[in-house]
Structures are given as structure tokens and as C-alpha cells.
A and B are shown apart, each in its own frame.
Chain A
Amino acid sequence: MPRVSTWFVRSSLLCLALGFTLGALMLAAKGVGRTALIPRLLPVHIELLLVGWMVQLGMGVAQWILPRFGVQGVARGAAPAWLAFAMLNGGVVLVAAAPVFPSLPGMLLAGRTAEVVAGAAFLASVWARVRASGLSAM
């Protein structure tokens, strides 16, 4: 597994642990009728698990398993993948922290913008690696 993939996947595992922890807290809160906590935690829970866990795991595994042999251009180097990693995690942190800092409305926008940059960098890092192998009929 390339180094950038280990960072993607380990970071996704941390997001999974944090997201499951918040989810368990919210479910337990429903059990004791303290549901006032839920509206503040729910967006953080969703961000950590959908973007931080699932999207990030997908990016990390794609960096690992997509074919690299003979790739030319920007996808040849690891820089776009590292940029995607940094921007995605910066974005997740900003988006997850945004509900805690309602006086900073630009935080959510900055986080979402970082995630767009991450998506574009990820696209640049894998686009040329998505191709027919000549081995599969599918």
C-alpha cells in the first residue's frame, strides 16, 4: 500500500471512530430522553462518517489499487494525491467544527471549498489510471 494510501485509510479509521462515538452518544441520549444534544452533534456525525470515513477510505483504496504502470502526466507523481489528502481532512475539520463556532459563518464555506479542491486533486491523481487492463472482459 503506498504511503499516501496509509494516511488516507488511517485518517478514515480515525473519522470512523469519532463518528461512531458521536453516533453512540446521540443514540444513548435518545434512550434517556436528552435529545437537545442531537441537533448540534448530528451534522458533525454525518460529516465524519460520510466524508471523513467513506469518501476518504474510497480515495485511499483507489490510490492503492488503481493501475500505475505506464502512467504519464500529473497522475505519475504523488503530489495531487497528497494535496487531496490535506484538503479533504482540512475540509472535514472545518465543516465538523463549523457548528461549534456559529459566529464564524465562513468556516463552513471554507471547509466545503477545501473538499472541492480535494475532489479535483483526487480526480487529477487517478484519472489517467482508470483504463482498460486488457485482462478483463468487463
Chain B
Amino acid sequence: MPPLTRWYIKTALVYLVAALVGAVVLASAPLLQLPAPLIAAGPAQIHAFVVGWLTQLIFGVAYWMFPKFSAERHRGLNSVAVATYILLNAGLLLRVVVEPWQAVHPGPWLGRLLMVAALAQWLAGVGFVVNTWPRVRTK
């Protein structure tokens, strides 16, 4: 298993636990006096689960298991693959932190940070598609 796949899978496992803890916290909202940003964290929690866990696990396993790109570059452009990992996680982390605050206390700076998070995650998606597409082929 290549090092980048290990990073993907271990990060995905951390997101799995964090997202499940987040679901418990959100479920406790009717019982406890939670701070407003926590109550507004529903979309962030869903994305921690679906992007941080599921999509990230897929990215990591696909990078490892898909057919080789070439004899010299087994897994495509390494720089693109590493950038994809960094952008996905930086964008997601920024989103998880900023989105609930923007929902409760909207402001220009938080809004700009949310746009940076959106751009980072979009670039990660594009990077994964660009690096994976040539590896999807018949024998």
C-alpha cells in the first residue's frame, strides 16, 4: 500500500469517528443547551461523513488499486495526487470549522474563508478525476 493511500485511509478513519461523534452531539441538541454554532453544524457533519470518510476512503483505495498509469509512473502524477489529498482535507477542515459560524454570525471574512474551502474541495475533485481518468482502461 503506497504511503499516500495510508494517509488517505487513516485520515478517513479519523473523520469516520469524528463524524459519528458529531452525529451524537447533534442528536443531543434537544436535551442539552448547545452553543448555536454546534446546532448549525448539520451540513458540516454530513460532509465530514460523506467527504471525509466515504469519498476519502474511495480516493485512497482507487489511488492504490486502479490499473497502472504506465511502467514509469504507476499511479499517475504524484504531485497531483498529493495536492488532491492536501486540498481535500484543508478544504473540508476549513468548511467544518467555518460553515457553522457563518450560519450563526455571517460576515465577509468568514464568507471568504468559506469560498476558499469551496475552491479547495473543488480543485481536489478535479485533481482526483484528472489523475484517475487515464488509469481507467481495458487491459
**A-to-B contact residues, CB < 8 Å:** 1-3, 5-6, 9-10, 13-14, 16-17, 19-21, 23-25, 27-28, 30-33, 49, 54, 57
Contact = CB atoms under 8 A, between A and B. Distances in A.
A30 B114 contact: yes
Interface residues of B, number: 32
A19 B50 CA distance: 13
Interface of B: 50, 54-55, 58, 67, 95, 99, 102-103, 106, 110-115, 117-119, 121-122, 124-126, 128-129, 132-133, 136-139
Contacts of A25: 118
Contact of B111 (A2, A9, A31): A31
A13 B102 CA distance: 31
A24 B120 CA distance: 9
Contacts, number: 75
A13 B128 CA distance: 9
A21 B129 CA distance: 12
A24 B119 contact: yes
Nearest to A33: B106
A51 to B, nearest CB: 13
B51 to A, nearest CB: 9
B111 A32 contact: yes
Given A24-B121, A27-B95, A49-B50, A16 B128 contact: yes
Contacts of A10: 133, 136
A79 B78 CA distance: 37
B99 A13 contact: no
A45 to B, nearest CB: 11
A110 B128 CA distance: 32
B136 A21 contact: no
A83 to B, nearest CB: 20
A17 B111 contact: no
A133 to B, nearest CB: 18
A19 B136 CA distance: 20
